[in-house]
Structure 1
Amino acid sequence: MYKIAVLGPYDSIYGFATLGLDIFPIQDAKSGAQVFRQVAGGDYAVIYITESLAEEFADEIEKYKGQLLPSIILIPGISQNTGKGVENVKKCVEQAVGSDIIFGEK
């Protein structure tokens, strides 16, 4: 059975544990990339990762973009947000429904 993981600074992700998701608190980019590789190679179908952490090892994440699993989803953290998480979700919705549901069709 597949699982869901959440990676990022502890303050940004600890609440996900109450939902039953596996959390992986990350302190720095080097250890974050290592944990990400372990999680991505495991039984996780979905990996949520904070925007700021994802920027630290974007090239590592890029390797998984063409694969079906795991699905990597950027989420905003408590601080240092870039807006990429919201933009990514918006892009996925546009692909799924054929139009931008927030701002109408383009």
Structure 2
Amino acid sequence: MIPMYKIGVVGEKDAAVAFLSLGMTVKGVDTPEEAQRAIDEMAREGYGLIFVTETIAKEIDETIERYKNNFLPAIILIPGVNGSLGIGLQKIKNNVEKAVGVDILSKKEG
């Protein structure tokens, strides 16, 4: 039997509340300390995936990096209420380039 992991969202309250309708656990936070606690708590509780808004993630880079090499939880950065800061996409591009050996996601004129 395949284990079913919970999915959580950590971010500013206005952005995170939209995920409640999808059945995800939502932790609306106001400070970096609240975000760190929420992520650590979800990790201890066995969450498989934690979405974190970019606005919050840029304030807690140390916490995000701590989980980077762990299989679980996977932490994925998503745009906040003010749109994307480009942080999440850059992290994905860096990981793909590391795995493949070349940047295959950039649009290059040829």
TM over 0.5: yes
Equivalent residue of 1:73, what SS? strand
Shift of 1:8: 0.1
Percent identity, aligned pairs only?
33
Q: How far apart are residue 20 of structure 1 and its match?
A: 1.3
Alpha carbon RMSD of aligned pairs, Å? 2.1
How far apart are residue 71 of structure 1 and its match? 0.4
Q: Are 2:25 and 1:54 equivalent residues in the alignment?
A: no
Pair 1:103 & 2:107 matched? yes
Give SS of 1:78's match: coil
Q: Secondary structure at the match of 2:104?
A: coil
Distance 2:106 2:41 in 1: 36
Q: Which runs of 5+ in 2 are unaligned?
A: none
Normalised TM-score (structure 1): 0.82
Change (3 A) 1:30 1:18: same
Question: Quick one: which of 7, 14, 17 aligns to 2:17?
Answer: 14
The answer (yes or no) to whether the contact 2:93–2:103 under 8 Å persists in 1 is no
**Structure 1 unaligned runs (5+)?**
none
Q: Tell me the secondary structure at the aligned position of residue 82 of structure 1.
A: coil
